[in-house]
Amino acid sequence: MNKIGLYEVVTQKIIDRLEAGVVPWQIPWRTKNGMPRNMISNRPYTGINFWMLLCLPYTSPFYMTFEQARVLGGNICKGEKSTMVVFWKILESEDKNGETKKIPFLRYYNVFNLTQTEGIDPKKIPDTDAFDHDFNSIAAADQIVHGWKDCPKIEWDSDHAYYSPSLDTVCMPNQRSFFRDEQVYSTLFHELTHATGHRSRLDRHEKIKDHKFGSQDYSQEELVAELGAAYLCGITDIEQQTIENNAAYIKSWIRTFKDDPKVLVLAAAQAQNAVNYMLNQSAEHLPSGTVE
């Protein structure tokens, strides 16, 4: 199968899953610091709260309100600023005709990270052990990464996966902290697709007007990166183990465009361009028969 044919097949698989409904995206690793979660309930934050808190520069995954910190015997350090998290509740009421109406009700809370507090007994802090498994590299995926001539620097052992344009560096959690070997490469491919947008490569980032988290430009770039990851997983024949989470991730960002699948057309074109850029530099390193 040539590259264009593979791109179309993978895109259609993702569209099929979007139309059928996909489960919420799951973070595919667990480091010691883990996912953002409430200190009292120990429940992970979901939706937009997850993404907002994940981007914050704190070393602890635990958050709490001012009152929750007091209940735990601590207090907020002087000068620390809170972060807002939001929750939707559905309220039911009867109209004058006796019909039940459902009304969405937005509530918000201001939370602080554990590192912004003092006086909390360490014994009250839940354990956050990292997931650990024997990682086995996948040769076809490694060949693409190692063959990319101007591949950005890749640093391992981070708490989260991200690409830093200013440093032109991809930071990744330790391979052993991922639940499956294939998820290591899907995540790495996502961040490497971001890196193709650097001004020294395809210069995609310079054309983005709004870099604010959650903006349509930001969301479009996330779609490009995840589609790029899905294509590379298809090329290396590991998409069966990763495509459900690819689709779930895309679903979480496509909501910015009011669930309009047509936005995938532009994102797919940019993702194909990004993947072609990587493959053209890695062609002599690709496994035989992978692409034509």
What is the pTM (predicted TM-score) of this model? 0.74
CA-nearest of 184, 153, 185, 189 to 171 is 153
pLDDT for the residue numbered 2 = 67
Residue 49 in tokens: 């709260």
pLDDT for the residue numbered 81 = 95
Helix, strand and coil content of the chain, in percent to the nearest 5, comes to 45, 15, 40
pLDDT for the residue numbered 1 = 65
Cα 63 to the center of its chain, rounded Å:
20
Positions of the chain with pLDDT lower than 50, given as ranges = 285, 287-292
Token pair 């479009």 in the structure block, residue: 220
**What residues contact residue 164 under an 8 Å CB cut-off, 6+ apart?**
170, 171
Per-residue DSSP letter, 101? E
pLDDT for the residue numbered 263 = 84
pLDDT for the residue numbered 274 = 96
Is the distance from CB of 149 to CB of 165 less than 8 angstroms? no
pLDDT for the residue numbered 93 = 77
Q: What is the C-alpha separation between 59 and 47, in angstroms, rounded?
A: 21
**What residues contact residue 207 under an 8 Å CB cut-off, 6+ apart?**
none
**What residues contact residue 57 under an 8 Å CB cut-off, 6+ apart?**
none
